Amino acid sequence: MGGKRITRSHVAALSTGVSRSWLSFRRNGRRESLVESGEGDGDTEETALLFALYLRSNIRERRKERKRHRNEPHRAKMKAPSGGKQITKAWLEFMLADFEGKERPGTKVSVVDFTVSQGIPPGEGFNSELVLVDITAEIASGQGEAQEKIYHLAAKFLHADPFSAEMNKRFQSHIKEFLMYSEVVHELNAFLAARVPEASPICIPKMIYGKQKGSEYVLVMENIKVAGYVTNDKRKGLDVEHVMRAVEEIAKLHAVSYAYNKSHNFLEKFPCYQFKVEAINVIPAFLTCSLKNCVAYLKTVKGKEELAQKVENSNAIFSKKFHALFDDFGNECLCHGDFWNCNIMYKHKQHEDGQEQILEGLKLIDWGNSGWINPIFDLQYLLHTSTTLELRKTHIDDLLHKYHTLFTSLTTKLGAPLPHYDYTAFREDWDRTAIYGFTLGNMLIQGTLSTTNPANKPRGPSILDHGAFTPIRLIVNGFKTGMAKLVGPIISGPNGGKYMEKFLGGILKPIQKELLSGTNEVMNTRLLEILCEADEKGLFD
């Protein structure tokens, strides 16, 4: 070896080259010296010894890794449950150990007791199944004694209905929501904190655990209801204080994502949020069927016969106007996409006098419809689905001024000013997109305020739920899934509206009967208000 001393630096310097040599002669199927292969550095004996040391170290590390996997076999391979009924004690222990282990590696969790209950009222879980999980567990870390800890969690799964699950996958709703909790909001908040440290972060529930791999999907979050967060009564609508706070929060999301994109290219990193025209191909069907209900209802309202005729004659041109909105978005950023009353949870604290509640904060939930579109769409959606006409007429200027001021000032602080987007340009954008607000408002007022909507009815027990009929249930669900995969592309295609009209006609017929009966004053009033407001704006002309 010529008296040369072999050091760690020699190994570090040569290990990469030696590894390439080894792979080279193994691939060529013949034995040759490392020096002769052109990759060595020094005489053959020294290089061979260095390679042996490197190889030995590599083998030891591989053995240690295999041993670690043998010690925790179920941890590495634990399959996620497909729904609330499949949640087990073993999976909860695995999931919580993963969560606790991020701060204290090696933490062991033993579940003492747990309960699972339905988390979404019938008719409000279109994209997923949500269950609430309450857990009592013992947590052990290091040599200390185990401590009792109680968890209040919310777990989301793909919808149990095969058709809903298939459409969910087609539009990647589950992936978008998963990424919002696991990556997107964290990245946007880090971007915000680095540039405007005094700003509060974008507020969403804390993620506890998630898995999105192949057919496995679960998203576990904190149950913020236990911490005092509640949704407003959708039948009352948001008051000015609560809607103003929601406007402030959505302006922050819009501004941060807009500025982030200028330096990081959001869609390159998160392509699933790119707008796809298939997402709105079914809107004409909803619009046609819901407008038929509007016409039937207006014909029963004294003095609204002329408006009924205008609405009836406007369907074709109305659909074209709606689709034209998506030809040119103008400004684009990350939008919630389903920004209405029931996807905003507020927290209050009691005033010192004990008589009044003070709004303390809010968190935005349900991100499955999020996407990269015009931020005004979120504003239109919120104000036309979740407020009364009186509030809009009285406070619309204040609300829009607040949004524009926050959006433009924050984008400027973040290094992405909009010099040509003054308040006048913003109001033009608002007026141009009014048809979006009416369309979504009309559909949601009928769909969420009706007491007869079949989607709002709880699913009753089925004979197929019995364990003895499991094979039959699997066959039936498999058939439904196959049909969903066949029908899904047709419905989301350019001619899908024709097929959806027949389907939706049956769903909306009971709602029409309820409108004509006059028994649901809240729904009738809100629908009449939004129709008259749209007429004043000339949307039916």
Give the residue-averaged pLDDT of 490-513. Answer: 70
pLDDT at 87 over 80: yes
CB burial of residue 236 (10 Å; 0-12, 13-18, 19+): exposed
pLDDT at 69 over 70: no
Task: Measure the CA–CA gap between 167 and 503, rounded to whole angstroms.
Answer: 15
- Secondary structure (H, E, C), 233-256: CCCCCCCHHHHHHHHHHHHHHHHH
Residue carrying structure tokens 């003054």: 422
Give the residue-averaged pLDDT of 170-177. Answer: 90
Domain boundary assignment for the chain = 8-71, 276-328+433-449+463-541
Supply 521's token pair. 């004053």
Q: Do 259 and 334 form a contact (C-beta atoms < 8 A)?
A: no
Considering only residues 61 and 473, tell me which one the structure prediction assigns the higher pLDDT.
Answer: 61
Q: For the sheet containing 216-222, what is the strand order?
A: 108-118, 128-140, 147-158, 216-222, 207-213
Measure the CA angle with vertex 161, ends 219 and 206; round to 5°.
15
Question: Could you tell me which of 304, 303, 294 has the C-alpha nearest to residue 524?
Answer: 294
17 phi, psi to nearest 5 deg? -65, -40
Give the residue-averaged pLDDT of 16-39. Answer: 39
Provide, rounded to the nearest whole percent, the portion of the chain with pLDDT above 70: 74
Task: Measure the CA–CA gap between 115 and 131, rounded to whole angstroms.
Answer: 10
Supply 451's token pair. 């007491």
Distance (Å) of CA 25 to CA 13, 16, 22, 36, 39: 20, 15, 6, 11, 11
pLDDT at 433 over 70: yes
Q: Is 380 helix (H, G, I), strand (E, B) or coil?
A: helix
Measure the CA angle with vertex 438, ends 424 and 235; round to 5°.
115
Amino acid at 104: R
CB burial of residue 419 (10 Å; 0-12, 13-18, 19+): exposed
Identify the weakest region by mean pLDDT among 245-249, 328-332, 444-448: 328-332
Task: Measure the CA–CA gap between 497 and 504, rounded to whole angstroms.
Answer: 10
Considering only residues 490 and 389, tell me which one the structure prediction assigns the higher pLDDT.
Answer: 389
Q: Which residues pair with 155 in a beta bridge?
A: 131, 220
Supply 134's token pair. 């309450």
Task: Measure the CA–CA gap between 381 and 250, rounded to whole angstroms.
Answer: 12
Q: Is 361 helix (H, G, I), strand (E, B) or coil?
A: strand
Give the residue-averaged pLDDT of 160-165. Answer: 70
Task: Measure the CA–CA gap between 11 and 52, rounded to whole angstroms.
Answer: 10
Distance (Å) of CA 192 to CA 183, 188, 199: 14, 6, 7
Q: Which residues pair with 130 in a beta bridge?
A: 156
Give me the pLDDT at residue 495, please.
Answer: 58
Give the residue-averaged pLDDT of 439-462. Answer: 76
Instruction: Give the strand pairing for 333-335 and 216-222.
Output: unpaired
Supply 53's token pair. 């040391």
pLDDT at 472 over 50: no
Amino acid at 368: G
Distance (Å) of CA 368 to CA 47, 424, 512, 526: 57, 32, 29, 26
CB burial of residue 480 (10 Å; 0-12, 13-18, 19+): middle
Give me the pLDDT at residue 418, please.
Answer: 96
pLDDT tens-digit series, residues 300-325: 999 999 999 999 999 888 888 888 88
Task: Measure the CA–CA gap between 34 and 45, rounded to whole angstroms.
Answer: 9
Task: Measure the CA–CA gap between 434 and 157, rounded to whole angstroms.
Answer: 35
Give me the pLDDT at residue 471, please.
Answer: 42
Cα Rg of the chain, angstroms: 29
Task: Measure the CA–CA gap between 140 and 297, rounded to whole angstroms.
Answer: 63
Amino acid at 75: R
pLDDT tens-digit series, residues 456-465: 554 444 443 4
Question: Could you tell me which of 152, 95, 153, 161 has the C-alpha nearest to residue 128?
Answer: 161
Give me the pLDDT at residue 470, please.
Answer: 39
Give me the pLDDT at residue 280, please.
Answer: 79
Supply 508's token pair. 């909306």
For 529, the enclosing helix (H) or strand (E) is helix 521-536
Give me the pLDDT at residue 159, please.
Answer: 80
Give the residue-averaged pLDDT of 441-455. Answer: 86
pLDDT tens-digit series, residues 261-304: 999 999 999 999 999 887 777 787 888 889 999 999 999 999 99
Q: Is 176 helix (H, G, I), strand (E, B) or coil?
A: helix
Question: Could you tell me which of 23, 49, 50 has the C-alpha nearest to residue 37?
Answer: 23
